[in-house]
Amino acid sequence: MLSNDTRTTTSRALIFCLSFCLAAVMWYAVSVSDMLEMQVELRLDYFGIPSNLIVTDGLVSKMTVRLRGPQMLLRSSNKEFNYKVVDLSNIKPGTTTIPLIEEQITPTLRAFEIIDAVPMRLDIKAEKVLERMVPVEPVLDIPLRRGAIDVKNVQVSPSSVMLRGPESVVERINSVKLPLRVDPEVAETTLTQHATLSLPQFVTSRPARVRVAYTVTSARVTLERTFPIRLEAVEKDGYTLEESELTVSLEVPESLAKSPTYLRRLDVYVLPPQIERGQSASALVQFRTPEGMVVLGPLKHVVRVSRPAPESKADGEKSDAGGKKNQSVKVESSTPDQLAGDLKR
C-alpha cells in the first residue's frame, strides 16, 4: 500500500512540474515577443430590450477598438474579433448610459491592453410603448378641378388599425391618412386596391395594409369642336394635307366644357406614310387627349397626304426655249415706220 501511494504522489509531482515548465516556456515566448498595436472593428449585437420599451436613438452597428499586445498573440486571435454582444435589459425610459469597455468587454479582448475605443459608451434613448386603435381616413387626390369628377362609396377594410410605437408619437395620432389618387378616365367604375399605410418612424400598424374600394362618377357632356390637323413629320415642307381641319365629337367633364385651355389640349395629328416625291397615300388621323376627355368620333378618319414632285431639267429647258421664241416674235412684230428706217440704213 505504501508503495502505491508513493508512486501516485511521484506521478502527480512530475505532472505538476511538467505543466509549470510548459507555462513558463509559453509565458517567456509571449513576453519576449514584440509588442504590437492593432485596430479592430466589432459588430454590435443587442439583446434583452424590455417588451414595454422601444429604443428611439443611440444604437450603433459597430465599434472600433485599438489594442496593444504581443505580436504572436494578436495575429493568432485576429480572426476571433468578430462581434460584441450588448445587453440592454437594464435600460429605463429616458436616456441610459451603457459602457462598452468595462463590464461588457468580450473575453477575447481581455488578454490585451485596450488603448482606445470608439464609442466607449452608448447613450440609449428609450420610450414606453403605447398601443392605440385609430381610424383610417381616406384623402382623395383628384388631378382635375374640383367638381369635374366625384368619388362615392369609399370603403376601407379594416376601418381602424392598431398602432404601436413610442408613447410621445402615438398619443398625438388621432387618425391615419390614406392618400388615394383618382384616375379621371375610369368614371362610372368601382375600383378596389390594397394600400400600405404611411406611418411615422418607429410606429407600426396591425395590419400594415388595408383594402379600399370606391366609385368614380362624373357629370359629363357631349360637344363638337373643329380642330386643326397637325402634320407630325421631320420634313414638314415636303408633305401636304388635303384637309387642314377636322370636326370632332367629344365627351368631357361638364365643369370643363367651356374651358378653351382644356379643349385646346386635344392634339389632332397625322403621321405621314413613307412615300416618294410625286406620290400620295392615305393616313389615319390620330388623337392625344387630356385627362377626362374621350373622343367619340370620327375614330377612323383618313386624310390624303402627298409630296410634290421636284422640278425636272426638261421643264427648265422648255421654259428657256419658250422665252427665246417670245423674243423672236417681238422682232417680227415691229411697226412699219421701224421697217422703213431700217431700209434707209
Q: Write out pLDDT tens, residues 17-69.
A: 777 777 666 665 555 456 677 788 888 889 999 999 999 999 999 888 887 77
Position 84 scores a pLDDT of 78
More confident residue, 62 or 345: 62
Position 78 scores a pLDDT of 57
Domain layout of the chain by residue ranges: 30-119, 129-217, 220-306
Position 5 scores a pLDDT of 62
Position 239 scores a pLDDT of 84
Q: Write out pLDDT tens, residues 165-178.
A: 999 999 999 999 98
Q: Is the pLDDT of residue 282 over 70?
A: yes
Q: Which fold has domain 30-119?
A: RNA Polymerase Alpha Subunit; Chain A, domain 2 (2.170.120)
Q: Write out pLDDT tens, residues 133-163.
A: 999 998 877 766 555 667 788 899 999 999 9
Q: Which fold has domain 220-306?
A: RNA Polymerase Alpha Subunit; Chain A, domain 2 (2.170.120)
Q: Give the Cα separation of 30 and 164 in Å (integer).
A: 55
Q: Is the pLDDT of residue 327 over 50?
A: no
**Identical topology for domains 30-119 and 220-306:** yes
* pTM value > 0.75: no
**Proportion of the chain above pLDDT 90, given as a percent:** 32
Q: Is the pLDDT of residue 93 over 90?
A: yes
> Which of the four pLDDT bands, split at 50, 70 and 90, describes residue 97?
very high
Mean model confidence pLDDT for the chain: 78
> Which of the four pLDDT bands, split at 50, 70 and 90, describes residue 334?
very low
More confident residue, 228 or 254: 228
Position 2 scores a pLDDT of 46
The predicted model gives 296-315 an average pLDDT of: 80
> Which of the four pLDDT bands, split at 50, 70 and 90, describes residue 320?
low
- Superfamily grouping for domain 129-217: YbbR-like domain (2.170.120.40)
The predicted model gives 188-195 an average pLDDT of: 81
The strands making up 62-70's β-sheet, listed across from edge to edge, are: 83-87, 35-47, 62-70, 113-118
Q: Write out pLDDT tens, residues 108-135.
A: 566 677 788 888 889 999 999 999 999 9
* 3-state SS, one letter per residue, for the chain: CHHHHHHHHHHHHHHHHHHHHHHHHHHHHHHHCCEEEEEEEEEEEEECCCCCEEEEECCCCEEEEEEEEEHHHHHHHHHHCCEEEEECCCCCCEEEEEECCCCCCCHHHHHCEEEEEECCEEEEEEEEEEEEEEEEEEEEECCCCCCCCEEEEEEEECCEEEEEEEHHHHCCCCCEEEEEECCHHHCCEEEEEEEECCCCCCCEEECCEEEEEEEEECCEEEEEEEEECEECCCCHHHCEECCCEEEEEEEEEHHHCCCHHHHCCCEEEECCCCCCCCCEEEEEEEEECCCCCEEEECCCCEEEEECCCCCCHHHHHHHHHHHHHHHHHHHHCCCHHHHHHHHHC
Position 128 scores a pLDDT of 95
